[in-house]
A and B are shown apart, each in its own frame.
Chain A
C-alpha cells in the first residue's frame, strides 16, 4: 500500500508540473481570443514548429540551448504576427466562424509543411536531463524546469500586462471589446502586439515541451484539443479561469495515466468536461448571478 501511495503522490506532482505548461498554452490562446476575438485552431501547430526549431538549432546545428530557445521564441512570435497579418486581418470583418476555419486551414498547411520538410519520423533533442529522486519519487528535471519556466513566463506576461501602457490596453480590451474606439488606442498595433505575445508564449511552450516529448508533424494534435477544452472550461478569454482549469485537467490526465494509458487520461478529461458543463455551464470560474 505504501508503494501505491508513492505512485499516487508522484502522479499528483507530475500533474502539477504538467499543469504549468498547459496553463502557459491556455494563456496564449486566451490572450488572443480575449483581445482579437479569434481562436487560433493552429495554435498547437505553431508550437510544433517551435519544437522543430529547437531540434534543428540545438541538435543539428549545436547552438547553445539558451540561445536556441531565445531564437525559437522570437521566431514563433514572428509567425504569430504573420498569421495575424496574412490570415486573420483580412477576415476581421467576416463571420467569426470563417476566421476559425481559416486557422484550421493553416493547421492543415503547417502539419503538411512539416511532413514535407522534415518527414514523419519522431525526433528528439537527444538531451537527457537527470531524474530527481526525492522521498522515493522520481521527478524528471525536464518537467520541473518546464514548470518553473512556465511560471516565470506567466509572471513576465503578468508584469507586462499590469506595468506597461500597452499591456493595460490589452487587458482593457480583453475585458470589454466595446471600448476599443473609446480608448483612442490603435487597435491594429494592439492586435499585432497580442499576436506576437501569443506566438511568443507558443514559442516558450515549444522550448519546454521539446525537453519532454519527441517532435513529429502531428505532435500538436496531442495537446491542441486539451488546450481548447481548458480554455472553454475556464471561459474563453478568462485568464484566471484558464489557469485553474489547466491544473484541474493536468491532474485528471496524470491520474488517468497512472491507472491506465495516457490516452485514457485525455478521455477522462473530456468526460469530466462534459460533466462540468452540466454542473457549471457558465464556465469554471464564472460567478453565479
Chain B
C-alpha cells in the first residue's frame, strides 16, 4: 500500500484544481509549491554540507534576468528563463570555482556566499535606473489576460499546474542525485576531501557540478516567482534574508529527506500567512521574529528537522 502512496498523493494534487478553485487557498498553494522548489534546490547541495548562503543571489538573478529580458528586449520568458538559469549557473561557477579550488569550505564558504547574496542585492539596487531599485520591478503585461508566449496567466489553475510540475521535477532531481554516483562522491567529500581525492574523485569538479545544478534550479525558481507574482523586489527574491529563509525552511523541515524542504515551506509560509491574516499590518516583522527564534531552537534541539525526526522515530520503533 505504501508503495502506491506517492502516486495517489500525486494524482490527488493534480486533480485538486478541478474540484477546488477558491483563489486565496490556491494562491497560497502556488506560493508554497514555488518556494518548496526553491528550498529543494538549496537542499540538493546543502545536504552534503555545502552550506551556501548565496542562493538569494541566484534566485534574484533568475527573477530579474527574466523580467529584464522581457521588458527591454521582448524576449519571451520561454527563452528568458533558460537564459536566467544560465546566468545563475555562470555566477555559481565564477564564485564557487575559486572557493572549491582553493579549499574554501565550511564557515569560509558560507561567508563568501553570504557576501554574494548581499552583493547581488546591492547590484539590483545600484542599477535602479533599469531595475527600479528597492521599489521593485514589474514585467510588462502582454496584451491582456493570459498568454502562453509571455508566460502570463490570469487563472490560478494554470499556475498551480505549472508550479506543481516544476516542484515535482525538483523532487525528481533530488531523487536522481540521491541514486547517483555523485552522491557517493559528495558524501565522501563532505567527510574527508583528501580521502575522496585519494579514491579518485575530482573534488573541485564534483562540488562544482552540484553547485551549478543547485544554482540553476534556484534561478528557475526566481524566474517562476517573477512570472507568477508579476512583481519582484530586491528584498523578496534576493539578499541575505532570502538566503537565510531558505536555510531556515530546510532545517525546519529536514535537510536529509526529499520532502523536508517542502514540509519546511508549508510550515513557514502558513505561519507567515496566519500571522498576516490575524494581525494585519501590525504583523510586519513578527513572522521573521518567530522564524529567527524557531531556527535557533530547531538547530539546538531538533537538528534533523520535523520530517527528518519523524522518519527517524518511525525507523527506530
Q: A residues engaging B (CB < 8 A)?
A: 33, 39, 41, 87, 90-91, 94-98, 100-102, 104-113, 115-116, 120, 217, 221, 224-226, 228-229, 231-232, 236, 260-261, 263-264, 266-267, 270, 273-274, 277-278, 281-282
**Which residues does chain B contribute within 8 Å of A33, judged by CB atoms?**
107
Q: Could you list 21 A-B pairs, sorted by A, with CB under 8 Å?
A: A96-B106, A96-B107, A97-B106, A97-B107, A107-B244, A107-B292, A108-B244, A108-B292, A109-B292, A109-B293, A112-B291, A116-B284, A221-B118, A224-B240, A228-B115, A229-B115, A232-B108, A274-B94, A277-B98, A278-B102, A282-B102
B135 beta carbon closer than 8 Å to chain A: no
**In whole angstroms, how far apart are the Cα atoms of A225 and B114 in the complex?**
7
Interface size on B, residues (CB 8 A): 49
Closest-by-CB residue of B relative to A223 is B118
B295 touches A236 (CB 8 A): no
**Which residues does chain B contribute within 8 Å of A217, judged by CB atoms?**
285
Interface string of B283-296 (1 = CB under 8 A from A): 01111110111111
B291 touches A108 (CB 8 A): yes
**In whole angstroms, how far apart are the Cα atoms of A62 and B58 in the complex?**
45
**In whole angstroms, how far apart are the Cα atoms of A231 and B102 in the complex?**
16
Closest-by-CB residue of B relative to A94 is B303
B269 beta carbon closer than 8 Å to chain A: no
**Which residues does chain A contribute within 8 Å of B101, judged by CB atoms?**
281
Q: Given A101-B247, A263-B122, decide whether A115 and B284 contact each other with a Cβ distance below 8 A.
A: yes
**Which residues does chain B contribute within 8 Å of A267, judged by CB atoms?**
119, 122-123, 126
A270 touches B119 (CB 8 A): yes
**In whole angstroms, how far apart are the Cα atoms of A100 and B299 in the complex?**
10
Which applies to chain B's interface (DSSP): helix, strand, loop or mixed? Answer: helix
Q: Given A94-B303, A97-B110, A267-B123, decide whether A106 and B296 contact each other with a Cβ distance below 8 A.
A: yes
A108 touches B295 (CB 8 A): yes
A100 touches B107 (CB 8 A): yes
**Which residues does chain B contribute within 8 Å of A274, judged by CB atoms?**
94-95, 98
> Nearest Cβ distance between residue B286 and chain A, in whole angstroms?
6
**Which residues does chain B contribute within 8 Å of A263, judged by CB atoms?**
122-123, 125-126
A228 touches B296 (CB 8 A): no
A261 touches B126 (CB 8 A): yes
**Which residues does chain A contribute within 8 Å of B107, judged by CB atoms?**
33, 39, 96-97, 100, 236
Extra inter-chain contacts (12) besides given A106-B292, A267-B123, CB under 8 Å: A39-B107, A39-B110, A94-B299, A94-B303, A101-B295, A101-B299, A102-B295, A108-B295, A109-B296, A221-B240, A278-B98, A282-B102
Closest-by-CB residue of B relative to A280 is B102
> Nearest Cβ distance between residue A6 and chain B, in whole angstroms?
25
**In whole angstroms, how far apart are the Cα atoms of A228 and B293 in the complex?**
23
**Which residues does chain B contribute within 8 Å of A111, judged by CB atoms?**
241, 285, 288, 292
Contact of B292 among A91, A110, A232 (CB under 8 A): A110
**In whole angstroms, how far apart are the Cα atoms of A263 and B126 in the complex?**
6
**In whole angstroms, how far apart are the Cα atoms of A33 and B53 in the complex?**
18
> Nearest Cβ distance between residue B263 and chain A, in whole angstroms?
18
B104 touches A232 (CB 8 A): yes
**Which residues does chain A contribute within 8 Å of B106, judged by CB atoms?**
96-97
Contact of B288 among A100, A108, A231 (CB under 8 A): A108
Name the interface residues of B230-257: CB closer than 8 Å to any CB of A: 239-241, 244, 247-248, 251
Name the interface residues of B88-107: CB closer than 8 Å to any CB of A: 94-95, 98-99, 101-104, 106-107
> Nearest Cβ distance between residue A193 and chain B, in whole angstroms?
22
Closest-by-CB residue of B relative to A102 is B299
> Nearest Cβ distance between residue A87 and chain B, in whole angstroms?
6
**In whole angstroms, how far apart are the Cα atoms of A225 and B299 in the complex?**
23
**Which residues does chain B contribute within 8 Å of A120, judged by CB atoms?**
284
**Which residues does chain A contribute within 8 Å of B126, judged by CB atoms?**
260-261, 263-264, 267
> Nearest Cβ distance between residue B278 and chain A, in whole angstroms?
15
**Which residues does chain B contribute within 8 Å of A281, judged by CB atoms?**
98, 101-104
B118 touches A225 (CB 8 A): yes
B248 touches A105 (CB 8 A): yes
**Which residues does chain A contribute within 8 Å of B115, judged by CB atoms?**
225-226, 228-229, 270, 273
> Nearest Cβ distance between residue A252 and chain B, in whole angstroms?
13
Closest-by-CB residue of B relative to A270 is B119
**In whole angstroms, how far apart are the Cα atoms of A227 and B60 in the complex?**
22
> Nearest Cβ distance between residue A164 and chain B, in whole angstroms?
28
Q: Given A98-B299, A267-B122, A273-B115, decide whether A108 and B241 contact each other with a Cβ distance below 8 A.
A: yes
**Which residues does chain A contribute within 8 Å of B294, judged by CB atoms?**
105
Interface centre among A105, A113, A229 (most CB of B within 10 A): A105
> Nearest Cβ distance between residue B256 and chain A, in whole angstroms?
13
> Nearest Cβ distance between residue B1 and chain A, in whole angstroms?
37
B285 touches A112 (CB 8 A): yes
> Nearest Cβ distance between residue B58 and chain A, in whole angstroms?
15
Q: Given A112-B286, A115-B284, decide whether A105 and B293 contact each other with a Cβ distance below 8 A.
A: yes
A101 touches B51 (CB 8 A): yes
> Nearest Cβ distance between residue B105 and chain A, in whole angstroms?
10
Interface centre among A98, A112, A217 (most CB of B within 10 A): A112
**Which residues does chain B contribute within 8 Å of A41, judged by CB atoms?**
114
B299 touches A105 (CB 8 A): yes
**Which residues does chain A contribute within 8 Å of B116, judged by CB atoms?**
270
**Which residues does chain A contribute within 8 Å of B244, judged by CB atoms?**
104-105, 107-108
**In whole angstroms, how far apart are the Cα atoms of A111 and B290 in the complex?**
11
**Which residues does chain B contribute within 8 Å of A98, judged by CB atoms?**
299, 303
A105 touches B118 (CB 8 A): no
**In whole angstroms, how far apart are the Cα atoms of A116 and B122 in the complex?**
24
> Nearest Cβ distance between residue A94 and chain B, in whole angstroms?
7
